[in-house]
Amino acid sequence: IKTLATVWTACSLFRALLSASLQLARIQTDSIVEMLRELYPDLRFEIVAMSTTGDKILDTALSKIGEKSLFTKELENALERNEVDLVVHSLKDLPTSLPPGFTIGAVCKRENPLDAVVFHPKNCGKTLSLLPEKSVIGTSSLRRAAQLKKKFPQLEFRDIRGNLNTRLKKLDEKEDFSAIILAAAGLKRMGWENRIGQLLSPEDCLYAVGQGALAVEVRAKDQEILNMVSALHDVDTVLCCIAERAFMKRLEGGCSVPVAVNTMLKDGQLYLTGAVYSLDGSDSLKETMQTSVNYPQRNEDGPNDDVQHVGITAKNVPGQAQEAAENLGVELASLLLSKGAKHILSVARQLNDAR
């Protein structure tokens, strides 16, 4: 389910479409609208719901569905027809290359990007390492399964689909799963932090590219809307996510292969850890690189003001810092490719397709 917000002024009509599913969609929509209201108190917002193809396919693992465009195509069609003016997504749902005419006009401050374990009530107080042998863990993410299979070989991992409400209901009301793995950010936004039994550190499980961040997609040529939403950019999140998305793009990764990251920005240095895995986690490559992103913002108008970096337009973030972040992601991916990442991902993709 995707959510549409319509914005009025005395002389202008803006429509904004925000993406996620069911209750979480509304919460994410409301958070964006509230930020825009604080910045532009004279604007009014109307929220409307829209479903996408990806939202409707609930009996198939995400890795088997295909391209992420299943979650975005209908929304971008509405943008293209000027039926809406902006779309809010979970950034991890957006492909690293957007269709021509679209851009990510804002990347908001990131929520906790880590993965979380939610346990069946009978396992309350336990951790993954304390679960009985052969306990079944639910996740539709190849990335999570690959890492956790290697770390917890005594556990079994099975697909589980549906929105957050549906997956928690499957966990609580049946005996099929001992625990499920979810993004901590979604649980927090839903107000369900108390269900988190264990946070998985990057040592346990690197997270997905863009996980925890909300993105606002707009028409690339619509300067009025682009200028309006650009105030929502969080500089640190933008730079981390540019590096992550560049890493993913260079690897030609997606939800059908296990690719994972961890980023940290400290004292002007951006650190990116990236990894690729076989489906069972037995084969993997993992490296860390860093670069300086400590560049001043230039107040120069010019033809490159709206340059995109892996689909993101961030005029209020220093261009040199964005370039450095993108180059970091590309260089780290190239390093892994030189060590055999292409073979690992190719085999993973073939095995996933054959499942």
Domain ranges, ordered by start, for the chain: 13-112+209-354, 115-199
Q: In what order do the strands lie in the sheet with 269-277?
A: 259-266, 269-277, 284-292
What does the pLDDT read at residue 305? 56
User: Given a cut of 80, is residue 134 above it in pLDDT?
Assistant: yes
Distance CA 73, CA 196 (A): 33
User: Given a cut of 90, is residue 84 above it in pLDDT?
Assistant: no
CATH number, span 115-199: 3.40.190.10
User: Given a cut of 50, is residue 206 above it in pLDDT?
Assistant: yes
C-alpha distances in angstroms, 319 versus 47, 238, 308? 34, 11, 10
> What average pLDDT does this structure show over 28-57?
78
Half-sphere exposure of 199 (CA within 13 A, CB side): 11
Q: What are phi and psi of 324, to 5 degrees?
A: -65, -40
Q: Which CATH number fits domain 13-112+209-354: 3.30.70.20, 3.30.160.40, 2.40.50.140, 3.40.50.150?
A: 3.30.160.40
Name which residue leads in pLDDT, 244 or 80.
244
User: Given a cut of 90, is residue 24 above it in pLDDT?
Assistant: no
Quick check: 19 and 86 in contact, CB under 8 A? no
User: Given a cut of 80, is residue 6 above it in pLDDT?
Assistant: no
pLDDT level of residue 29 (50, 70, 90 thresholds): confident
User: Given a cut of 70, is residue 325 above it in pLDDT?
Assistant: yes
User: Given a cut of 90, is residue 299 above it in pLDDT?
Assistant: no
Name which residue leads in pLDDT, 276 or 21.
276
pLDDT level of residue 205 (50, 70, 90 thresholds): very high
Give percent of the chain above pLDDT 90. Answer: 69
Instruction: Return the SS3 of 66.
Output: coil
What does the pLDDT read at residue 43? 85
What does the pLDDT read at residue 1? 41
Q: Compute the Cα dihedral for 124, 129, 131, 134 and give only its sign.
A: positive
- Name 276's bridge partners: 259, 285
Name which residue leads in pLDDT, 347 or 15.
347
Name which residue leads in pLDDT, 239 or 47.
239
- pLDDT tens per residue, range 85-132: 888 889 998 999 999 999 999 999 999 999 999 999 999 999 999 999
Mean pLDDT of the chain: 87
93 in catalytic set: yes
- In this structure, what token pair is assigned to residue 65? 């569905």
Instruction: Return the SS3 of 162.
Output: coil
Q: Which residues contact 206 (CB under 8 A, 6 or more apart)?
A: 143, 147, 260, 261, 262, 273, 274, 275, 286
- pLDDT tens per residue, range 228-255: 999 999 999 999 999 999 999 999 877 7
What does the pLDDT read at residue 246? 98
State pTM to two decimals.
Answer: 0.90
> What average pLDDT does this structure show over 265-286?
97
User: Given a cut of 50, is residue 225 above it in pLDDT?
Assistant: yes
What does the pLDDT read at residue 53? 53
Of 1-15, 57-71, 341-355, which gets the smallest average pLDDT? 1-15
What does the pLDDT read at residue 75? 80
Catalytic residue among 85, 93, 115, 222: 93
- pLDDT tens per residue, range 139-188: 989 999 999 999 999 999 999 988 888 899 999 999 999 999 999 999 99
Segment (H or E) for 144: helix 142-151
- In this structure, what token pair is assigned to residue 45? 């917002």
User: Given a cut of 70, is residue 295 above it in pLDDT?
Assistant: yes
What is the CB neighbour count within 10 angstroms for residue 273?
Answer: 18
> What average pLDDT does this structure show over 46-74?
59
